[in-house]
Each structure stands twice: as C-alpha cells, then as structure tokens.
C-alpha cells in the first residue's frame, strides 16, 4: 500500500517572479533597507488605504513600535485578547505596559466593546484588537467605544491583509495597525512586518526608531553622495526590513487579490462539505465584513463524538497536517502568575477548535480527503 500524499496545512504561494525579484535585489548590490523597502511601504499603504507604511522585520516588532507610538509604558494597561498568537501580548510587555486579557466573541474569535468593558480599569490606556485568523474585527464598533472611553485602538492585523470591513480594507481608517509577512500569513517576505498609520509625525518617529533612532537613514546618506552627519535622537532599535525581503513583498502584493479570492473559494467549498456534520461549526464571514480565511478553523461542540486532539490524530493518520486552534496566551507558562479574569469563550475555542489545511494550490480532491476524515470522526 502506498502512503497517501501528505497534505500540508499551509504553503506560501511563491514563484519564479519572487525568485527573480530577490535575485535582482542581490545583483543591485543594495541588500539592506533601501529603495525597494520604500517602494513596498508605499504600495502596501496605498493598498490598505493608509497614508504611511513603515516596513519592519516582523509583526512583533511592528506591534512594539505601534504601541510606542501611542505612548504606552510602565503603569499603563492594554486590553488584549488572550486568544491570539503570543506575540500580541508579548509586544505590550515589551513596552513596559501590562497586557490585560479580555474574552472574545465565539463567532469571530475577536474582541468586542462588551468584552473590553468587562476588564477595563482606570489604568486602561489602549486596546490592542486582533483580526484573528483573518476574520475582521468589528472596528467601527471598537473605534466608537474606544473614542467614547478615551482609549487608543491599535490593530494587530498580522493575519488581516485582504480582509475588509464595510467594503474597505482592514487598516483603512485605523489609528495604527501592524502587519505580518511570515510564511504562515496571506502574503510573505520570509519574515517581515509593516506598520500603517495616517499620522505623519508617528510615521517619522517610527522610521527613526526602527533604525537606531538615527536622524538620517543609511539609505538617504548613501543616496546624497555628500557627507551627512547623522544624530541619534532617542534610543532606538534595529527593526529594519531588507531590500531582498521587500522585493519579494512587492511581487506578493501583486498576487494578493488572486490569493484571497482562491482562499475564499476554497473556504466556501469547505463550508458546503462540512455543513452536514452536526456539532462542527466552520469559521464564517461576520455581518460587518469579509475575511481572507488566513486560518480556516472549525469549532467542535463539547459533545462532538471525538475530542479535538483525537481528530487531529485521525487527520495525521490520513496524511493530513492540521493544527490545534488559536492558542490562549494566558494558559502558557510564560504567563503563569499573570492575574486574569475568567475567559470562558477563549478557553472553549482554544480547547475545541482546529485549523484545517487551506493553501492556494490545494485541490478539490485534497479538500474531499480532509472532509472525509471529519465525517468519519463525527460518526457518520
């Protein structure tokens, strides 16, 4: 018997064009942050409808800078979902502020004004909302609530590129948003991130902070041909993106519409295949927008015949890579001893959900194999 062909959970969609773009950057002799990073920033900001883009090394560093921009530091509290990749909460701690975990709504896995209010205190200065798994958060409701309460709303859009709210890109109208180009996300530069904002002063400061707090960037000094003495205006970081990464990012951005429409098409087909399974609810578009299905997760009812981990085992036995659902940061050893309100929905989603394979070149036959295992596990 030949083993069935393995189905991965995610494969980035990269081709010859990306390979050529990276090679061109290498051949140009300018491989650190330079003209390609600047072009990628402009194209990305335009795509999401923001005035400024600041390319950085990852979404984790983008979040750190975004939280610095809004002025957070020791003594401040920031409301964050525990149901997120751990970098969301870590970025708050990197500023010296305290992450306060809020619960999420079951349908989207995202914060709502109600879940934020449940944990808000007089020390709360900001809310860090995540567009979890590419399901857009209801930013209109969150922005209104934050404005009323005098809180800054920072958006973790690591998974959000290509998702929309009210027909506009995630990031449009955001105070400040952070993005990821890790290969597990919708478009990739290997590693990489971006901050977007409409605030010119913040953009200027973050450009400096990502480059050691330098008054003049290395690329500008190189381009000028004259000696320019830079000053170091504040203590910064090295959070730069390379031009090799940015070259790949520019090509990937050009593929975004095609990638998102393929993901949505495959998600709609999963929805049909899985609809007959009782006690299994697939992630769906919320009423306020459309997702990009960066992570296609399904939630099992408490009385589903097989436990979540048993379903993952059965999928693995059939040669299918799936993943446990989105993690809950407050349950990790890194947050042991971090006082947290009860988070029943977060814990239920984290315990009973799993992420199914979904990638650009996935075939219908591969999807049928995934669905067959889930039907079998449901006892049908």
Ligand X SMILES: *Cc1c(COP(=O)(O)O)cnc(C)c1O
Q: Which residues participate in catalysis according to the annotation?
A: 185
Please report how close the Cβ of residue 265 comes to ligand X at its closest, in angstroms.
23
Kindly indicate which of the ranges 32-40, 66-74, 155-163, 231-239 contains the residues binding ligand X, using the contact rule CB under 6 A: 155-163
- Which residues in 246-285 contact ligand X (CB under 6 A)? none
| Angstrom distance (rounded) from CA 80 to CA 75 | 16
Kindly indicate which of the ranges 144-152, 154-162, 266-274, 338-346 contains the residues binding ligand X, using the contact rule CB under 6 A: 154-162
Q: Does 243 contact ligand X by CB under 6 A?
A: no
Q: Does 55 contact ligand X by CB under 6 A?
A: no
Kindly indicate which of the ranges 55-63, 252-260, 271-279, 311-319 contains the residues binding ligand X, using the contact rule CB under 6 A: 55-63
| Angstrom distance (rounded) from CA 137 to CA 87 | 18
- The most distant pair of C-alpha atoms in the chain lies apart, rounded to whole Å, by 74
- Please, which residues have CB within 8 angstroms of residue 293's CB and are 6 or more apart in sequence? 133, 134, 263, 264, 266, 267, 283, 358
- The residue from 33, 82, 88, 95 that contacts ligand X (CB under 6 A) is 88
Please report how close the Cβ of residue 102 comes to ligand X at its closest, in angstroms.
15
- The residue from 40, 85, 293, 359 that contacts ligand X (CB under 6 A) is 85
Q: Does 193 contact ligand X by CB under 6 A?
A: yes
- The residue from 159, 177, 315, 320 that contacts ligand X (CB under 6 A) is 159
| Angstrom distance (rounded) from CA 342 to CA 104 | 11
| Angstrom distance (rounded) from CA 169 to CA 257 | 12
Task: Enumerate the H helices of 210-307 as residue ranges.
Answer: 218-224, 243-274
| Angstrom distance (rounded) from CA 316 to CA 4 | 11
Q: Does 353 contact ligand X by CB under 6 A?
A: no
Q: How far is CA 69 from CA 10, 128, 258, in A?
A: 33, 13, 33
Question: For ligand X, which is the closer residue by CB, 84 or 164?
Answer: 84
How many CA atoms are closer than 13 Å to the CA of 154, on its beta-carbon side?
Answer: 30
Name the residues that contact ligand X, by CB under 6 A.
58-60, 84-85, 87-88, 130, 156, 158-159, 180, 182, 193
């Amino acid at each position: 018997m030949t083993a069935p062909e393995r189905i991965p959970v995610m494969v980035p969609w990269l081709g010859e064009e990306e390979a050529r773009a990276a090679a061109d950057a290498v051949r140009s002799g300018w491989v650190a942050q330079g003209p390609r990073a600047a072009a990628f920033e402009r194209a990305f900001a335009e795509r999401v409808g923001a005035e400024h883009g600041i390319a950085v090394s990852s979404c984790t560093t983008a979040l750190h800078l975004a939280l610095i921009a809004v002025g957070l530091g020791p003594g401040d509290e920031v409301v964050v979902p525990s149901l997120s990749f751990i970098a969301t909460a870590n970025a708050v701690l990197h500023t010296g502020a305290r992450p306060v975990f809020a619960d999420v709504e079951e349908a989207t896995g995202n914060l709502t004004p109600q879940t934020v209010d449940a944990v808000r205190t007089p020390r709360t200065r900001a809310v860090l909302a995540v567009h979890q798994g590419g399901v857009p958060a209801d930013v209109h409701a969150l922005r209104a609530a934050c404005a009323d309460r005098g809180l800054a709303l920072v958006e973790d859009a690591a998974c959000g590129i290509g998702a929309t709210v009210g027909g506009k890109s995630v990031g449009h109208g955001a105070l400040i948003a952070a993005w990821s180009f890790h290969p597990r996300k919708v478009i990739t530069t290997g590693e990489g991130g971006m901050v977007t904002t409409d605030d010119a002063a913040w953009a200027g400061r973050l450009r400096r902070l990502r480059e050691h707090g330098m008054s003049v960037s290395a690329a500008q000094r190189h381009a000028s041909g004259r000696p320019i003495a830079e000053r170091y205006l504040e203590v910064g970081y090295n959070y730069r993106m390379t031009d090799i990464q940015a070259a790949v990012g520019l090509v990937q951005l050009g593929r975004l519409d095609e990638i998102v429409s393929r993901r949505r098409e495959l998600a709609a087909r999963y929805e049909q295949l899985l609809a007959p399974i009782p006690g299994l609810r697939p992630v769906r578009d919320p009423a306020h927008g459309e997702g990009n299905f960066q992570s296609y997760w399904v939630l099992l009812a408490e009385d589903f015949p097989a436990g979540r981990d048993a379903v993952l085992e059965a999928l693995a036995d059939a040669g299918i890579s799936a993943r446990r659902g989105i993690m809950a940061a407050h349950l990790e050893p890194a947050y042991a001893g971090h006082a947290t309100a009860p988070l029943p929905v977060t814990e239920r989603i984290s315990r009973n959900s799993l992420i199914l394979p979904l990638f650009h070149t996935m075939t219908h036959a591969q999807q049928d194999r995934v669905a067959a295992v889930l039907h079998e596990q449901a006892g049908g």
